[in-house]
Every structure is written in C-alpha cells, then in structure tokens.
C-alpha cells in the first residue's frame, strides 16, 4: 500500500491549568484537563485533535485533616445520618467531597434515614448490610444499645491520641460500655426553653422570673393555666425515663454493683409526685406529657398554643418556618436544672459498625465529620454546637448574637463542656424503661400511689436481672 | 385410553407459586420458627422453646390487647349497618347522585395515616371539635380526648368506620342494583311499606355482600394498627387504652426489640384470624346452600 502507515504514534498530553498543590486551608478543586491526540502519518500533515475535556482531582499533598493512617485503598463505605436531609444536603455533600480530597480513593455513599431510622438500622444489621458509619443519638442511648449487642467497633486501640484530644473529654467519655469507647462525639445541643411571650407575658412574670430549677415548673404552670387558660407543654423522656429521673430527680436508679434497681427511693418518689401533682391540677397537656415523639410537643408550641417548650435552639428554625408570626414573640431561657445539677447529656455521635470491611476508612470519615473545621462549618448554618473546643476559637462564637437562634452562643462552650452522661449502664434497658413507663402511667392517670407504683416497677425490673 | 400428562399448566403456575413461596410461605415458616426463639432482629435468634408462649399467657397487656381487638370487632356490624343504609340512600335516580356517591367514597381512597393525623388535630385540646363544643356551650372546658383512656378505643373505632363506610357502601350499592325490580313491585303489591320492603327484599338480596363485608371488615378490625398509631402518637394510648393485638406485636418487635416474642403474638393472631375466616366461609357456604 502506497499510503502505508510507517508509524502510528498516539500521544496524550495533559495540560494542567491552574495546577497548584493543595494547601492546608484551600481544598484542591477539580481542574479541567484537555486530552489531545496527535496522529502522525508519514508524508502527510500531522493532525492534532482535542478529543475531550475532563475534570480530575490533582494528586493530593499533605492534608492536615487527614489524621487517620492506613486508610484502605479504594474503600467504599456507606454513611447513614439521622434526619439531616434535605435541609443539610449541601453541607453533608461538601464535607464528603472535602473528605475525599483528604483521603483520595475512598468512596462514600451517603443515605439519610428519618422516622424509620431505628427500624431500618436493625433490619440492615439483620440482613448483614448495615452501614459502615452510623449517626447515632447519645440522648436516646443508641450508642450503648448497639455497643452492648457487639455491633459497634471499639475505638480505644484504633484512634490516635491526637484525634481523641480534639474533643471535650466529657463528650468523648460518654456511653462507655465496660470502659470502652464506641463513639465520636458529633454535634451537640444546649437545652433551652423557647418562650411564647404572647402567652407568657400575660402572667405578669418577666423572662428573668422563669424557673431555674425543675421544682419551679408546677407553680409556673398553675399560674399560666389560671391566667391564660393554656396548658403546659411538657414532655417526659418516654424512651429513657431512667435518665430523666437521674438528671431531674437526682435518683440513683441501680445500686453500685448493678445487682438491684433502686428507683423507688424517696428521691424517685418525690420526682414522680411532682408530675402527678401537675396532672391532678390539670395544668399539663397529658397527650404531650407521655408521647414519645418530640414533634408532638414542638407542634403544640409552634402552633402558638403553649407558653414554653423545652428543646434545642436548632429547632427554632421550625418555628420560623411554620409560624413566622410567633417567631417575633420568641424568647429563649436556659432549661431548668434538676437535682443532679447536671444540665444533660450530649446529643449526637458517629460510630462505626463492628464488622466493617474498611475500618480505617470508616474511622477516618467519622473523625473527619467531627473534626473542628467540619463542626464549625455546621454550626454556622444551624444552631448546633461543636464537640471540639478548638471550634469555639473562631470569631463566629465570640460575635454578639443577632438572631434568637444564636442566643446560646456566648455561653455554648461552657455549657457543652459540662454535658455529661451520668446514667449508669442499665441491663435490659428497653424492658426496664417499659416497666417504668407503665408504672408512671399508673401513678399519673390511675391514682396509684407513686411509691407503690415505683416499688412494683422495681420488683418487676429486678426479676429481669440474673 | 390413557391420559397424557401435560406440564404446560404447571409451568404457567410456577411464577405465581414462587411469589407465594417467597412472600407468604417463607415468612409464615420463619415466624413459626422465630416464635420459639429469643430474637432481637439485629442479632441472631437463640432457641428458647415454649418460653415466649408461656410468657405470653402470663402477660396482662397481651390479654388487654386481645380484649381490645375483640371489642374492635364492633366496627363490623356498625359498618354493615351504616353502609347498607348509605347504599339504599344513594341507590336512587336523583340529579347529582353520582357526586354524593363519590363524596362518600373519598375516605376510602384517603391514606389512613393522613386521615389519622387529621383526626388527631381535630381532637386536639385546641382543635375544631373542642372549639365547636365550647362555642355551642356544650362544654365548659376543653376535653383532652386522646388523653382519656375511656375515649381512645371508641375514637379509633369511629375513625375505622368513617374510613371504611364509603368502600362498603359501593359493595352494597352494586348488590342492590342486582336485585330485580320485580321483587320490589311484588312487595308493594303485597302491601309492604318502605321499611318492610328493605327488610324482606333488600337485606335477603344482599346476603352474599353482607357475608363478604363481614369477613373482610372483621379481619381488618382484628389487624387494626394505623389508626391507633397515628391517634396516640405511637404510645398506644394512656394506660394502654388503645393497644390492640397488632399494635402490641409492633411495640414488642420494633420498640422493645423482642422479635421472638412478637412472633409468638403473631402466631396467636394467625390462629384467631384463621378461625374467623373458616367460620365465615362455613357461614357463607351454608347460606349459599340454603339459597
């Protein structure tokens, strides 16, 4: 053939534009690359063709956020969050993108689960396809629930001390099971009472008069009922009544060696009697009092039917979105403290499943989402509080609050540093809680003496112990 | 002459049999097995023999739930009565009657969860029902309807009736339109008044539909869950006042993580519903033979 090809050379030139090394502060952005194919045909004109333009991520340099070593190559991990989508889609996606720059080659599949989170998670564990990284609630006791079943990865031997030191010690040490850590502390809440001044101010009380302790609530509710005719929007922590007894009543729920329950003590009876009296006085909404869904109580407040409600500042956004008319009449006061003197326990954590195929990548993702920078960025878009002291050094936290959502910002670091899980590990927790719930209902609604109700419950609960 | 066995019909049956085997037979067998185990869904089951059944017999809340489910069966005669009444009312050739039929049918096509939430809002302390009763002077103080144990079950039953009456009305309407007009003419000639006409012609003519509705609605009543869940915010009512057997099953399986114990409850429910179905089918067969 006259037009025989003497040689065929394919050359792919990669022309990097703006190919700067990633810095510690500025994450590497994907850059546009031009793929060029040059074909040389002897005796003929050389032809150069731009085939396509593609986006690639430059080779990463040292990244201060990449603190976990030995991350598995080409790991593909699944991450489940609890009720964060769609509101925080942008934040979650951008944090995952930043994570993938710090740990190139790791793929993260994110899913958000909401009302059915617990059911979905149990089913996923049963089916053997549970997520590698899981957002669990500290306040609901999920970490200890799953850890005691051997479903979570112990962290003590695999997380470097430098990473542990990033967290408030009181938060890192929450929900230990036999002294072992199973969670990275994530975003925290500060319990406050949202006050509807349209109702509250009718009582003639000032915001400063709002009770500082739980003991002061019955008198306040009585005044509100007499003056305004509305009922108090107070919710028992139905899913964890032992915790509520501990914090509010200063009750020791089980003896030191864990061999007998003790939640029929005078302190426990006094705690229950406080609520029994409010029900007898008709000053609380009974439906809200025993619902296990926070949204029921929040809805009552949001619709302008209650004088106050105990929740986190992060849920003020619900009031603003659903009842803007009420938003202008909101005040925020610290939640009353119980006899324990401890304000409460942490809010959210991230854990890793025990049998993950990619433990280091999963730990890396958990640590990354809870590192000071990720926490700070999250705090800037919603009123949650970091579990990392370093985040509070940012001017964002020292700036004077503007919106009502930011009211807790000036004292947030101090408040978060005092959160503590003071509830001991309770065997058969869900069953004992159910026994306590039945007993409390008997006292509240069936005229059973509180002492009798709690003593019967202790007897039933002790029968569950070995 | 020998019959040649053809495989073709059996090949056509295989897909349906596979679906039934995977989605009906396997779950039933699995639940039977789990009912003899201690199983928390997220961890493997452990064989415990009859322990779950022994525990069930001694569990006062199970018996309370069972009694509530049996009380709930009151919705069946209520539904039959109201549906026949409505069917007779809309079985007329009046202008705009189709619109009325459609209106009565709307609850049947509404989601029970959405309807439950709507009713919960109406029954709220500051809801429209209290508001109306207060403005009419019938009440002096609002009632917390869903916080009163005595009201929980009746309210849920009322909701089930409201949801179902339109659907069953259509069943009876179809039945009424199949009754020959001559029978009504004969009844008139015999001197029947309106009440007697329906008593002696419509009701006997609707016997197959009545049996069908009795079977379907009683099984649905035994398995009620959505109404209880939405009305009580997942609690089952104060002092377990709204806990039915399926709600208790759900609570044990998905709140308390006792899937083995919940499977034992499911087995008891299976026996009860099976007994109901057999009883109803027998009654149906007897009625057909009599006709």
Domains in chain B: ranges and CATH: 39-290 (1.10.3720.10)
Q: Which residues contact A124 (CB under 8 A, 6 or more apart)?
A: A130, A131
Contacts with A442 from chain B: Cβ below 8 Å: 239
Predicted local distance difference test score (pLDDT) of residue A317: 86
Give the confidence band of B1 by pLDDT, cuts at 50, 70, 90: low
Is pLDDT at B122 greater than 60 in this prediction? yes
Q: Tell me the mean pLDDT in the region B136-141.
A: 92
Nearest residue in A to B141, CA atom? A229
pLDDT of residue B239: 94
Query: Are the beta carbons of B35 and B263 closer than 8 angstroms?
Result: yes
CA distances from B72 to A455, B69, B212 (A): 34, 5, 18
Partner-chain contact A121 B233, CB within 8 Å? no
Q: Which residues of A touch B126 (CB under 8 A)?
A: 303, 305
Give the per-residue pLDDT at A22.
Answer: 33
Looking only at the bridges linking them, the beta strands covering B37-38 and B46-47 are: antiparallel
Whole-angstrom distance, CA of residue B117 vs CA of residue B231: 7
Q: Complex ipTM, two decimals?
A: 0.82
Q: How confident is the model at residue B92 (pLDDT cuts 50, 70, 90)?
A: confident
How far is Cα of residue B210 from the mean position of the Cα atoms in its chain? 14
**Single pTM value for the model:** 0.80
Residues 6+ apart with CB under 8 A from B122: B128, B129
- Residue B247 to chain A, least CA–CA distance (Å): 15
Summarised one tens digit per residue, pLDDT across range B12-50 is 999 999 999 999 999 999 999 999 999 988 888 999 999
Among all residues of chain B, which has the CA nearest to that of A446? B239
pLDDT at B276: 83
Provide the greatest CA pair distance for chain A. Answer: 109
Chain A CB contacts of B37 below 8 Å: none
Q: Which of A118, A146, A287, A445 to mutate to test the interface with B (most CBs of B within 10 A)?
A: A287
The residue of chain B nearest to residue A231, with distances taken between CA atoms, is B125
Task: Return the percentage of chain B with pLDDT > 90, whole number.
Answer: 69
Residues of chain A with pLDDT under 70: 1-61
Contacts of A111 (CB under 8 A, 6+ apart): A78, A79, A80, A81, A131
Give residue A86's Cα distance to chain centre.
16
Please tell me which of the candidates A287, A438, A442 has its beta carbon nearest to residue B233.
A287
Among chain A residues, CA nearest to B124: A287
For residue A292, the chain B residues in CB contact (below 8 A) are: 233-235
Dump pLDDT digits (tens) for B153-206: 999 999 999 999 999 999 999 999 999 999 999 999 999 998 999 999 999 999
Closest approach of chain A CAs to the CA of B238, in angstroms?
Answer: 7
The count of CB pairs under 8 A between chains A and B is 64
Cα gap A429→A148, rounded to integer Å: 11
Does residue B259 have a pLDDT over 60?
A: yes
Interchain contact, B254 vs A286, CB within 8 Å: no
Given 3-state DSSP classes, what are the helix, strand and coil percentages for chain A, each rounded to the nearest 5? 40, 15, 40
Averaged pLDDT, B88-96: 87
Q: Which residues pair with A213 in a beta bridge?
A: A337
Distance in Å, alpha carbon of A294 to nearest chain B alpha carbon: 10
From A48, A49, A42, select the one nearest A2 (Cα to Cα): A42
Task: Report the alpha-carbon distance of residue B23 to residue A289 in Å, rounded.
Answer: 40
| Interface residues on B facing A, Cβ-Cβ cutoff 8 A | 40-43, 61, 124-126, 144, 146-147, 149, 233-235, 238-240, 254-257
Q: Are residues A445 and B233, on separate chains, in Cβ contact within 8 Å?
A: no
pLDDT at site A3: 42
Residues A365 and A367: their CA atoms lie apart, in Å, by 5
Crossing angle of the two packed helices A89-102 and A359-369, in degrees rounded to 10: 130
For residue range B223-241, list pLDDT tens digits in order: 999 999 999 888 899 999 9
The predicted structure's pLDDT at residue A52 = 46
Q: Residue A231 and residue B125: Cβ atoms within 8 Å?
A: yes
Chain A interface residues (partner B, CB cutoff 8 A)? 118-119, 121-123, 125-126, 146, 149-151, 231, 238, 285-287, 290-293, 296, 303, 305, 430-431, 434, 438, 441-442, 445-446
Facing residue for A285 by CB, picked from B144, B238, B255: B144
Crossing angle for the helix pair A429-445 and A241-249, to the nearest 10 degrees: 70
From chain A, the residues in CB contact with B124 under 8 A are 287
Distance from CA of B164 to the nearest CA of A (A): 27
Is residue A342 within 8 Å of residue A420, measured between CB atoms?
yes
Alpha carbons A47 and A80: distance in angstroms, whole number: 51
Chain A residues within 8 A of B125 when measuring between CB atoms: 231, 285, 287, 305
Taking a C-beta distance cutoff of 8 angstroms, is the pair A426, A436 a contact? no
B144 closest CB neighbour out of A123, A287, A434:
A287
CA-derived radius of gyration, chain B: 24
CB contact under 8 Å between A442 and B239, yes or no, is yes
Which two tokens mark B224?
């009620």
Q: How far apart are CA A373 and CA A392, in angstroms?
A: 10
CA distance linking residue A416 with residue A169, whole number of Å: 11
Would you place residue B121 in the very low, low, confident or very high pLDDT band (cuts 50, 70, 90)?
Answer: confident
Based on the number of CB atoms within 10 Å of its own CB, is A219 exposed (0-12), middle (13-18) or buried (19 or more)? Answer: exposed
Please give the biggest Cα pair distance in chain B. 88
CB A411 within 8 A of CB A333: no
> What are A280's two structure tokens?
């007898």
Pairing of strands A76-82, A107-113: parallel
Q: Of the candidates A293, A430, A446, which has its C-beta nearest B239's C-beta?
A: A446
In chain A, which residues have their Cβ closer than 8 Å to the Cβ of B149? Answer: 445
B26: closest CA of chain A, how far (Å): 16
Inter-chain residue contact A290 with B254, CB threshold 8 Å: no
pLDDT score of A136: 97
Q: Give the single-character DSSP code of A348.
A: E
- In the numeric block, the tokens 């679906």 are attached to B19
- C-alpha pair distances (Å), A383 with each of A134, A228, A324, A328: 22, 31, 18, 17
Alpha-carbon distance values, B35 to A130, A199, B259, B260 (Å): 24, 53, 8, 5
Cross-chain CB nearest to B256 (options A290, A430, A445): A430
Q: Is B239 within 8 Å of A445 when comparing Cβ atoms?
A: yes
Q: Distance (Å) from the C-alpha of residue B154 to the closest C-alpha of chain A?
A: 17
* Tens-place pLDDT, residues A100-136: 999 999 999 999 999 889 989 999 998 999 999 999 9
The residue length of chain A stands at 466
Cβ neighbours of B239 in A, within 8 Å: 441-442, 445-446
- Minimum CA–CA partner of A430 in chain B: B256
DSSP string computed for B249-266: HHIIIIIS--HHHHHHHH
Residues 6+ away with beta carbon under 8 Å from B33: B45
Contact A149 B42 (CB under 8 A): yes
Comparing A394-398, B95-99, B255-259, B280-284, the range with the smallest average pLDDT is B280-284
CB distance B40–A149 less than 8 Å?
yes
């Amino acid at each position: 053939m006259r037009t025989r090809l003497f040689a065929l050379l394919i050359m792919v030139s990669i022309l990097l534009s703006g190919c700067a090394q990633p810095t510690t502060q500025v994450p590497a952005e994907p850059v546009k690359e031009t793929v060029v194919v040059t074909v040389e045909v002897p005796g003929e004109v050389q032809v150069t063709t731009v085939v396509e333009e593609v986006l690639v991520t430059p080779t990463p340099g040292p990244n201060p956020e990449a603190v976990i070593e030995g991350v598995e190559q080409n790991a593909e991990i699944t991450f489940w969050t609890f009720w964060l989508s769609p509101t925080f889609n942008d934040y979650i996606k951008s944090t995952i993108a930043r994570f993938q720059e710090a740990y190139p080659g790791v793929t993260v599949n994110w899913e958000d689960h909401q009302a059915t989170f617990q059911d979905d998670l149990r089913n996923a564990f049963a089916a053997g396809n549970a997520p590698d990284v899981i957002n669990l609630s500290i306040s609901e006791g999920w970490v200890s629930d799953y850890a005691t079943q051997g479903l979570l990865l112990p962290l003590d031997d695999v997380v470097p001390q430098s990473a542990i030191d990033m967290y408030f010690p009181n938060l890192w040490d929450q929900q230990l099971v036999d002294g072992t850590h199973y969670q990275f502390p994530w975003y925290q809440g500060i319990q406050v009472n949202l006050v509807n001044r349209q109702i509250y101010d009718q009582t003639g009380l000032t915001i400063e008069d709002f009770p500082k302790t739980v003991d002061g609530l019955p008198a306040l509710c009585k005044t509100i009922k007499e003056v305004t005719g509305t009922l108090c929007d107070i919710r028992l922590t139905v899913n964890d009544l032992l915790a509520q007894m501990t914090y509010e009543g200063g009750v020791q729920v089980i003896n030191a060696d864990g061999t007998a329950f003790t939640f029929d003590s005078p302190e426990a009876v006094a705690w229950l009697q406080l609520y029994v009296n409010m029900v007898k006085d008709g000053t609380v909404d009974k439906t809200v009092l025993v619902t296990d869904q926070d949204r029921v109580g929040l809805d009552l407040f949001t619709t302008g039917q209650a004088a106050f409600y105990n929740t986190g500042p992060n849920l003020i956004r619900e009031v603003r979105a659903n009842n803007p008319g009420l938003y202008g009449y909101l005040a925020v006061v610290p939640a009353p403290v119980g006899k324990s003197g401890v304000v409460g326990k942490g809010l959210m954590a991230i854990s890793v499943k025990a049998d993950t195929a990619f433990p280091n990548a999963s730990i890396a993702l958990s640590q990354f989402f809870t590192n000071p920078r990720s926490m700070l960025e999250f705090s800037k878009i919603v009123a949650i509080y970091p579990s990392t002291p370093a985040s509070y050094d940012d001017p964002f936290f020292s700036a004077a609050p503007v919106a009502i959502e930011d009211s807790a910002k000036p004292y947030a670091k101090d408040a978060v540093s005092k959160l503590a899980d003071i509830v001991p590990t309770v065997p058969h927790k869900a069953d004992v809680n159910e026994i306590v719930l039945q007993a409390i209902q008997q006292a509240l609604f069936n005229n059973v003496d509180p002492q009798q109700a709690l003593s019967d419950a202790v007897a039933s609960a002790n029968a569950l112990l070995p | 002459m020998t019959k040649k066995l053809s495989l073709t019909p059996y090949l056509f049956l295989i897909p349906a049999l596979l679906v039934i085997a995977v989605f009906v037979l396997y779950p039933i067998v699995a639940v039977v097995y789990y009912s003899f185990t201690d199983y928390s869904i997220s961890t493997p089951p452990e064989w415990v023999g009859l322990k779950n059944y022994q525990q069930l017999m001694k569990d006062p809340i199970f018996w309370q739930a069972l009694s509530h489910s049996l009380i709930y069966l009151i919705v069946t005669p209520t539904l039959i009565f109201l549906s026949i009444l409505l069917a007779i009312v809309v079985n007329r050739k009046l202008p705009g009657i189709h619109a009325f039929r459609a209106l009565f049918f709307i609850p049947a096509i509404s989601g029970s969860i959405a309807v439950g939430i709507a009713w919960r809002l109406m029954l709220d302390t500051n809801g429209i029902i209290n508001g109306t009763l207060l403005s009419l002077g019938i009440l002096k103080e609002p009632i917390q309807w869903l916080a009163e144990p005595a009201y929980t079950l009746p309210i849920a039953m009322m909701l089930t009736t409201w949801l179902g009456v339109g659907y069953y009305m259509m069943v009876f309407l179809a039945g009424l339109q199949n009754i020959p007009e001559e029978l009504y003419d004969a009844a008139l000639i015999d001197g029947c008044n309106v009440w007697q006409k329906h008593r002696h012609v419509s009701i006997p003519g609707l016997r197959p539909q009545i049996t069908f509705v009795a079977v379907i609605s009683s099984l649905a009543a035994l398995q009620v869950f959505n109404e209880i869940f939405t009305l009580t915010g997942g609690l089952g009512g104060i002092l377990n006042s709204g806990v039915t057997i399926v709600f208790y099953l759900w609570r044990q399986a998905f709140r308390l993580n006792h899937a083995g114990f919940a499977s034992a409850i499911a087995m008891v429910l299976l026996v009860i519903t099976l007994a109901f179905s057999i009883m109803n089918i027998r009654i149906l067969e007897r009625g057909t033979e009599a006709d």
